């Protein structure tokens, strides 16, 4: 993990045969494409951020608690789901289990998880087809 990352969310439209006309949201980290999704009707920006965070911060995220839906009494994070060895939803990570970041729950849900693992996100600039953010370790944001 690095101290800072530059994120660029790019919006385009598919020209492929089966998805022609669908919106595409792609996430570039420090110039490299790391995730994309297409369609609409859900938080696409949150989705691609969650995909990247799962791989970049997996060890840190495993130390959090999740909130997996209405009626859940924990003080966990919405959009984070843990599964035990039998694929049953649980509130805390168990060794050998799985976890999932559901970015469709919203960009802000992913930002709260990012903050909980010690990083802050700052909006830098945006246009109609692009949004630029900077992610820094919490200590760097104070400087």
Model pTM? Answer: 0.89
Radius of gyration for the chain, computed over Cα atoms and rounded to the nearest angstrom:
16
Q: What is the dihedral of CA 82, 5, 122, 53, to 10 degrees?
A: -10
What local confidence, expressed as pLDDT, does residue 37 receive? Answer: 95
Overall average pLDDT of the 34-38 stretch: 96
Q: What is the pLDDT of residues 110-139, one digit of tens each?
A: 999 999 999 999 999 999 999 999 999 976
| Cα(62)–Cα(14) distance, integer angstroms | 35
φ/ψ region of 115 (left if φ > 0, alpha if ψ in -120 to 50, else beta) reads: alpha
Q: What is the pLDDT of residues 55-64, one digit of tens each?
A: 999 999 999 9
Q: What residue segments make up the domains of the chain, in order of their start?
A: 4-141
Q: What is the pLDDT of residues 84-114, one digit of tens each?
A: 999 998 889 999 999 999 999 999 999 999 9
What local confidence, expressed as pLDDT, does residue 69 receive? Answer: 61
First-last CA distance in the chain: 20
């Amino acid at each position: 993990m690095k101290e800072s990352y530059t994120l660029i969310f790019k919006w385009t439209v598919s020209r492929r045969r089966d998805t022609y006309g669908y919106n595409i949201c792609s996430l570039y980290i420090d110039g490299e494409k790391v995730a994309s999704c297409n369609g609409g009707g859900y938080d696409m920006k949150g989705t691609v951020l969650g995909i990247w965070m799962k791989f970049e911060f997996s060890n840190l995220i495993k130390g959090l608690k999740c909130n997996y839906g209405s009626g859940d009494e924990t003080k966990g994070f919405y959009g984070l789901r843990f599964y035990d060895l039998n694929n049953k939803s649980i509130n805390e990570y168990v060794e050998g289990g799985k976890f999932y970041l559901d970015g469709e729950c919203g960009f802000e849900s992913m930002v709260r998880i990012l903050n909980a693992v010690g990083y802050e996100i700052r909006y830098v600039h945006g246009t109609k087809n692009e949004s630029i953010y900077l992610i820094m370790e919490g200590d760097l944001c104070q400087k």
